[in-house]
Amino acid sequence: MCIRDSYKIGIIGCGRIAQKMATTLGGMKGVARYAVASRSKEKAEHFAREWQFAKAYGSYEELANDPEVDLIYIATPHSHHYEQARMCIGKGKPVLCEKSFTANARQAESLLAYAKEKGVFVTEAIWTRYLPLSLKIQELIHSGIIGTPYTLSANLSYPVSYKERIQRPELAGGALLDIGVYTLNFAAMAFGTEIERMESSCLLADTGVDAQENITLFYKDGKMASLQSSIYAKSDRMGVISGDKGQLIVENINCPQSVRVIDDDYNVSAVYYAPQCITGFEYQVYASIEAIEKGWLESPYMPHAETLRIMRQMDELRKSWGVVFPCD
């Protein structure tokens, strides 16, 4: 067991999501903004100055070699996750890797097997899995407050088609791995994993990545989930879970802000709000630290089996759409 007064966090990547993590770490207790790495030493130094990190490295290997680093957060495009996480694990460093975990299921299987072989913790940073209100939604479903759940709808769309990492197949771009993965995880948290079949339709971008998609999941017990994502539109990000006695209406499935309970007379019977937080990223960091201290190789909030299942699900969807990455 490894218990420390303060965990020194290293970040690989200096983009927008790394900045959000830097903001988060600055407000957390028991962690330190320790090191950041980029392929550009100048970029890393600029990030370190702006966000008060102690060290800046011009290569990812240098950061992973630093004996003071306790946990590495990988905040680079999906296409880079496998190589970078494997390198960190090989050096014995616990890893919190941004979603999507890898570019495809083959990479995820290999990476998780390697982490198990090395006895090193790794988890997917799909932050919605760790949020308190996400857990409350599951509790409400299981309580029977909406009766037997039958249908679910969820949408998540942002106008992000201008971003290079979204448009390029070699960066594992497209809507599915970037934002559609949240709708799949929302459905999984609410309805479980016993899916009988999937049906979907997709509009491709000129570069060949998926730009807009509708996905329908049919469950073995008769439930059905309808999911929609787009890199062109700005959607309301709502999730609705309907049972035979009411509904749960979730505001923003990307970071649940509130859940309204609707009774069988269509009245709001209760409202639950997300607790005040720094950014919401702190929960996945604390969960990672808990796992490290307890000697776990995975987090119960996002088990390796779930990461693999959803990666395989996305592989199947991409195959049906004809979306191919060079690493496939």
Which strand (E) or helix (H) includes residue 204?
A: strand 195-204
Both tokens assigned to 58: 């011009």
31 three-class SS: strand
Distance (Å, rounded) from C-alpha 190 to C-alpha 180? 16
Structure tokens at 2: 């490894």
Interatomic CA distance for residues 150 and 130, integer angstroms: 24
Beta bridge partners of 57: 37
Parallel, antiparallel or unpaired: strands 71-74 and 95-98: parallel
208: left (phi over 0), alpha (psi -120 to 50) or beta: left
Residues that are catalytic = 99
Number of other CB atoms surrounding residue 249 within 10 Å: 17
Q: Identify the bridge partners of residue 302 per DSSP, sorted by sequence position.
A: 299
Question: Is residue 190 classed as helix, strand or coil in its secondary structure?
Answer: helix
Q: Is-cis flag, bond preceding 320, omega within 30?
A: no
Picking from 197, 169, 171, 183, the residue whose alpha carbon sits closest to that of residue 229 is 183
On the CB side of 167, how many CA atoms lie within 13 Å of its CA? 9
Ramachandran assignment for 306, one of left (phi > 0), alpha (psi -120 to 50 degrees), beta (any other):
alpha
Q: What is the dihedral of CA 188, 192, 193, 198, to 10 degrees?
A: -60
**Within 13 Å and on the Cβ side, how many CA atoms surround 219?**
17
